[in-house]
Structure 1
């Protein structure tokens, strides 16, 4: 009977991690398919409209350190409730006020909430699944991928039926409601996690003077920059190549569908064959091939490139999330390392889509966009050799 109850708690906690992680991308990725429509309707420049995706990413970095502070102040459970409510309210706001100021305000609130939720989830995984963290990170990443795919792929569909980008952006508040319901259902499990954390008497070691932690931060920032730039600018690139909005959105959907399918597949294989450097080089090589195919502007090759680009988007993020888990022992240390990595990494990632927008405003040529993406992947290959393979840490008995 106790085993059955324990198994039910594990299933509930994993389900909650999945549902909560669904909320971490749709409010951002749903903007991409609507970029040109919002820009024309509100009479904005590409740089101005790109703020709607750049600001949440900036906030994910600037406010990631709030996660351990809020956990200490109001507890894990209340912190998560608050952040899910913020995501839901800010996303719903887009359906009530369809002006630029409200869109910017909602983007900031959403970014802050995502910043706090991310490290909390990583710490929970480290605490509850120390031996199977890789697989559970796959669930976390899978949930984010599903949310990202739905936001990127269905937003244009909603718009085609309603002709309202406000409704198409606001509908994703539903995920926050579901997340709150699951969080409530798993509250007893969360209390146990908090009680276990309170039993740890050791102070978490600061990662800010650790060279490895800085390498992780740089790599996380580059892969996040690549992700958000591709999610934001793939549709405009495809439109410039002659595709319709529905075709271009379907192209983005293909990228994210490949991503979510492989999000589950790669972490399971990675757990069995944990050669971090080889996996990273494989993913980055696929990314370079995808960028080369995009550069041609040929419709058929764009579809093939979308398939290839889904591979690094699926593989790079879960491995980057595992960096702190591989290098730390306790959940507190994991939270500290993850907060540092995401703080600097997301601040980096906030700049790139804006840089692309600025260059495109000046040149009107997306070949520069692809050149920037190409250089990003080359930089990640260089960092891969500096980071090396994983070092599994164990608790001293």
Structure 2
């Protein structure tokens, strides 16, 4: 092995470790809040609609700030931009611990903005650092996201009990953010500030003119809407069905933990077919079955529902990020598609938790809520059939964006 090969291998391994560490921080800020909503509501007196707004706010900010990531990366460099996002995430987590209720909303807003920027940058960095096998490495990154989400959901109540406060439970996740930021600043392999990601990307107007870009975005938006409904409302819905607070939190945490399996395995599964449609239909079917079993099915089948929901959502999210890599010909185009798709995705996803909050404000039954969720699964399947086809965005010799 030559010296250059060793250096390249070291750079890839270091990047993977840092990617996993950063990925672990991009979900606890969201998943740690849901199990605490009942305590939070009792303590603050917020209405179900206000709680719905609280769960919707970070997802909406993800959509608003995700398109800014390529612009910031071009001016500050992708590494510095990610450092800035991690610092904002830490600040937001700390703000949520302040006694004043407006600080809870302000911190949640900042958390959403930070995750929107960081989550958009990482797929493009994966494409840059590991161009060969980027789809499989995206699975590793997704697995880190799922693990972070599982830890946030599962440890939220125990941390609140241990520390004696739901506010301290939320603040405690800032320690993980500090660890990731220090590691990123110290160890990340650098590129010169302002160096663009390799390859041509076409203009935003050209990207918006491509149906494939819209199909990827709409699939990502609908499946993310389901994911953030689960993050924001699943423990509350399970408690409404009669499960205890702690059990509901652990059921959600277990479901997110199961996502690790399909997050890593779905990109491999997708390689067995000419395109990603069979894999997408399989994971969406698991999501629908899991939701039905948990909210309407026999209680004796609840853990089967937990497993199916986890397998489905982990696979849906992993394949959504994989589509960004597979549907773009180079790292620069992947960054632009990521900004567009994830911006639109989070804007659509924000509607899901808010809609559930509105439904609960009117005291509707679990049957109506579950029917609404299954309708979202069906719509997501339509866009998955379109986005999952074997097509790719590329730039031709004249600099025009085309679909091949």
> For the structure 1 residues 119 and 204, does the alpha-carbon distance in structure 2 shift closer, same or farther, using more than 3 Å as the test?
farther
Listed as ranges, the gaps of 5+ residues in structure 2 are 398-404
1:122 aligns with 2:137: no
CA distance in 2, matches of 1:115, 1:384: 22
CA distance in 1, matches of 2:145, 2:130: 19
Q: Which residue of 1 aligns with 2:8?
A: 6
Q: Secondary structure at the match of 1:114?
A: helix
Q: Secondary structure at the match of 2:46?
A: coil
CA-to-aligned-CA distance 1:106-138 (integer Å, 9 cap, x gap): 111111111111221111111122221111101
Residues 127, 193 of structure 1: 8 Å contact kept = no
Aligned length in residues: 394
Greater Cα shift, 283-292 or 161-170 = 283-292
Q: Which residue of 2 aligns with 1:57?
A: 59
Residues 95, 103 of structure 2: 8 Å contact kept = yes
* Superposition pairs of residues 166-245 of structure 1, within 5 angstroms: 166-187=167-188, 189-191=189-191, 195=195, 197=196, 203=202, 206-245=206-245
1:86 aligns with 2:88: yes
1:368 aligns with 2:368: yes
Q: Which residue of 2 aligns with 1:31?
A: 33
> For the structure 1 residues 355 and 202, does the alpha-carbon distance in structure 2 shift closer, same or farther, using more than 3 Å as the test?
closer
Residues 34, 232 of structure 2: 8 Å contact kept = yes
> For the structure 1 residues 63 and 202, does the alpha-carbon distance in structure 2 shift closer, same or farther, using more than 3 Å as the test?
closer
Q: Which residue of 1 aligns with 2:144?
A: 143
Residues 262, 315 of structure 1: 8 Å contact kept = yes
Give the alignment's TM-score, normalised by structure 2: 0.92
CA-to-aligned-CA distance 1:248-268 (integer Å, 9 cap, x gap): 111101111110232122223
Residues 50, 353 of structure 1: 8 Å contact kept = yes
Greater Cα shift, 26-35 or 381-390 = 381-390
CA distance in 1, matches of 2:131, 2:391: 14
CA-to-aligned-CA distance 1:20-78 (integer Å, 9 cap, x gap): 11121111111100111101110011111122221110011011111011112222122
How many angstroms does 1:394 deviate by? 7.8
CA distance in 2, matches of 1:382, 1:2: 46
CA distance in 2, matches of 1:14, 1:68: 21
How many angstroms does 1:200 deviate by? 5.0
Residues 139, 322 of structure 2: 8 Å contact kept = no
How many angstroms does 1:346 deviate by? 0.5
CA distance in 2, matches of 1:193, 1:328: 24
Q: Which residue of 2 aligns with 1:355?
A: 355
Greater Cα shift, 374-383 or 323-332 = 323-332
CA distance in 1, matches of 2:15, 2:194: 14
Listed as ranges, the gaps of 5+ residues in structure 1 are none
Residues 56, 112 of structure 1: 8 Å contact kept = yes
CA-to-aligned-CA distance 1:274-327 (integer Å, 9 cap, x gap): 531101111111122222212436432222211110111111111111222222
CA distance in 1, matches of 2:13, 2:271: 20
Q: Which residue of 1 aligns with 2:401?
A: none
Q: Which residue of 2 aligns with 1:326?
A: 326
How many angstroms does 1:5 deviate by? 2.5
CA distance in 1, matches of 2:80, 2:385: 41
> For the structure 1 residues 121 and 297, does the alpha-carbon distance in structure 2 shift closer, same or farther, using more than 3 Å as the test?
same
How many angstroms does 1:368 deviate by? 2.2
Aligned-CA RMSD value: 2.1
Q: Secondary structure at the match of 1:363?
A: coil
Q: Which residue of 1 aligns with 2:283?
A: 283
Q: Which residue of 1 aligns with 2:23?
A: 21
